[in-house]
Structure 1
Amino acid sequence: MDVKTAVKDIKQGKISPLYVLYGSEKFRMNEFAAVLENQLIAKEDRDFAVIPFDLSETPIQAVIEEAETVPFMVPRKLLLVRDASLFTAGKENAKLEHRMDTLTDYMQQPADFSVIVFMVNSDKLDERKKIVKAVKTAGTVVAFNPLGAEELLRWVEKTIREGGCVSAPGMAEVLIASAGTGLQGLSGEIDKLCLFAGKGGTVDAAAVESLVHRGTEQTVFTLVEDIANLRLDKALDSLYELLKQREEPIKIAALIARQFRIILQVKDLSGLSYSQGQIASQLGLHPYAVKLAGEQARKFEGRRLRQILSAMADLDHQMKTGAIDKVLGLELFMLRLGA
């Protein structure tokens, strides 16, 4: 089931006795659990009614025992179970014996006063396991995959509106370029920007640039973007900013090479008619990063990208063997690219 449908069902009172949440977007997974908690449990009852478990420390039979125990002083209870590797191909904790038959039996006749939520930090479930097939029948399985490029932009704009502010045109792109694609980090930066703008205020690109710290990878991305657009002065400014932050020149060179490698891979896969989502899955990247790399790829020929990567490999060897001063090597490399 997709996230929107699951949330809609919860708000309409259609609560499943058991949920399995999985995927790489932990922030959205926690948001979903919060929606479920708000719908099920009164604020004053949460100390008694919301019960956390960690399957790396607690066997599954203890979770089921708690689910079958009548709640004390509250009408319903919510069991939040983390590290649920029972549903994945990952290695299970050898120190604990999980009796999976207790979960299988429970799913056939779940308690009407308990809701169990398994939170699985994995991109996929192990479909070969009987328990995965069983839970898909008896419960609700919800995937939390990375948002697509356009979805991420809409999420930023929606979160700003929910913070009581207005986003200026183009601000979302600038924020993502500065803070990255992680929803947890973006949420924190949005809180800060809305606090700065004030209730009803406008968050614009200037506010982002002055208040949001740009990470090393984001700075390297901007550096490559400036090279692609022949803005050599700005690219050098980015380089000097990284050096001022005491970043190791060899690391900077490696990150530049990584970005050009991504651009080449996106260009090659796009040429084979792969979709943005397929490329993201193939390369293990966020769809928004693929979108930006695709825009950069249009500014280079494939042959030119391969030449750049070859030159980066030579520079890496020279820097590591002391054949050239590290900073000078980077400066000369960028000047040649600009030329």
Structure 2
Amino acid sequence: MDVKTASKAIRKGDISPVYLLYGNEKYQMKQFVDLLKEKVVEEEHRDFAIISYDLTETPIEVVVEDAETAPFLVPKKLIIVRDTSVFAAGKDNNKIEHRLETLLTYMDNPTDYSVIVFTVQAEKLDERKKIVKKLKSDASVIAFAPMGGDDLVAWVHKRAAEREVQLAAGAAERLIQFTGTGLQSLAAEIDKLCLYAGAQGTISSADIESLVPRNTEQNVFAMVEDLANLRLDKALSIFYELLKQKEEPIKIAALITRQFRIMLQVKELAGQSYSQQQIASQLSLHPYGVKVAGDQARRFRPEQLRQLLYELGELDYHMKTGVVDKVLGLELFLMKMGAGASI
């Protein structure tokens, strides 16, 4: 079951007795749990009817016992259980022994007054385990993976629209460049920009550039984007701002190298007919980062990217050995690239 289908069912009152949520997209997972809180437990009952456990501290049979115990003074209760190893793939470092057969038995006849939600902060479940197979068969198992590039842009527009604010063309992409792909950070910046724009207002790229702070990695990401589009003045402006912030030129060069390496890897994998999601998984990147790297890589031939990586390697060696002044060497590289980076 996907997130949208499960959320729609919950809003209609079709609530499963057991949920297993897994994945790396924590913000979406939290939103889903918040929806369950809203629909399962009335606000005035939440202090008594929402119970939390951590399977690194509590045996799973205690969770099952709680689910089987009738709620006190409230009609229904929601039991939220955090897990990092019981259901996940990988090494189990949990020192607590869990009697998983108690959960298997409970799932054959769950109570109608308890909803159990297992939240697993892991990319994959261990499909070999009997309990995971049982959950996938009888419970609502939902994956929370990072959004694809287009979905993430659409999410930004939707978040702003909910506050009666629009984003100008290219503004959503600019915001992601500045803030990164984390939904929690994006949500906070969108809310701030919406307050600035006001109801029925429009957020422009210029608004984002003046109001949204960027860390070093995102500054370098934006700089590479400007270089790829031959916007040398903007790229140099970012570079000089980083120097004012006392960023080390060698670190800046390393981040530039990383982005060009990703561009080459994405270009080569795309040439082998890998999908955006497959490339993201292969390179351990967010799908939006793959999308942007792919767009940037279209402006270069593979041999150009290899040559740029070679020159960056030489620059790194010369900077570290004192052959060239670090600031001057990187500045000359940016100028050279910005003057002739087209395909």
For residues 229 and 153 of structure 2, what CA distance do their matches in structure 1 show? 23
Q: Report the TM-score, using the length of structure 1 for normalisation.
A: 0.96
Residue aligning to 1:303: 303
For residues 213 and 94 of structure 1, what CA distance do their matches in structure 2 show? 39
For residues 125 and 27 of structure 2, what CA distance do their matches in structure 1 show? 19
Task: Answer yes or no: is the 8 Å Cα contact 2:61–2:99 preserved in 1.
Answer: yes
Q: Which runs of structure 2 are paired with 1:1-339 in the superposition (5 Å)? A: 1-339=1-339
Larger mean Cα displacement after TM superposition, 268-277 or 183-192: 268-277
1:34-55 deviations in Å (ceiling 9; x for gaps): 1111111101000011111111
Task: Answer yes or no: is the 8 Å Cα contact 2:56–2:94 preserved in 1.
Answer: no
For residues 327 and 68 of structure 2, what CA distance do their matches in structure 1 show? 65
Larger mean Cα displacement after TM superposition, 140-149 or 205-214: 205-214
1:84 offset after TM fit, Å?
4.0
Task: Answer yes or no: is the 8 Å Cα contact 1:84–1:118 preserved in 2.
Answer: no
For residues 56 and 243 of structure 1, what CA distance do their matches in structure 2 show? 45
For residues 196 and 124 of structure 2, what CA distance do their matches in structure 1 show? 39
Secondary structure, counterpart of 2:230 in structure 1: coil
AA partner of residue 227 (structure 2)? I
For residues 302 and 117 of structure 1, what CA distance do their matches in structure 2 show? 47
AA partner of residue 125 (structure 1)? L
For residues 75 and 200 of structure 1, what CA distance do their matches in structure 2 show? 42
1:253 offset after TM fit, Å?
1.0
1:282 offset after TM fit, Å?
1.5
Q: Report the TM-score, using the length of structure 2 for normalisation.
A: 0.95
Cα 1:84–1:299 change in 2 (3 A) is: same
For residues 209 and 233 of structure 1, what CA distance do their matches in structure 2 show? 15
Supply the RMSD in Å over aligned alpha carbons. Answer: 1.5
Secondary structure, counterpart of 2:86 in structure 1: helix
Cα 1:98–1:321 change in 2 (3 A) is: farther
How many equivalent pairs are there? 339
Larger mean Cα displacement after TM superposition, 86-95 or 104-113: 86-95
1:57 offset after TM fit, Å?
1.7
For residues 207 and 314 of structure 2, what CA distance do their matches in structure 1 show? 40
AA partner of residue 72 (structure 2)? F
Task: Answer yes or no: is the 8 Å Cα contact 1:249–1:326 preserved in 2.
Answer: yes
Cα 1:226–1:4 change in 2 (3 A) is: same
Secondary structure, counterpart of 1:123 in structure 2: coil
For residues 305 and 86 of structure 2, what CA distance do their matches in structure 1 show? 44
1:94 offset after TM fit, Å?
4.0
Secondary structure, counterpart of 2:56 in structure 1: coil
Structure 2: 5+ residue stretches without partners: none
For residues 274 and 84 of structure 2, what CA distance do their matches in structure 1 show? 33
Task: Answer yes or no: is the 8 Å Cα contact 2:149–2:291 preserved in 1.
Answer: yes
AA partner of residue 272 (structure 2)? L
1:324 offset after TM fit, Å?
2.7
Cα 1:201–1:335 change in 2 (3 A) is: closer
For residues 102 and 4 of structure 2, what CA distance do their matches in structure 1 show? 31
Task: Answer yes or no: is the 8 Å Cα contact 2:220–2:255 preserved in 1.
Answer: yes
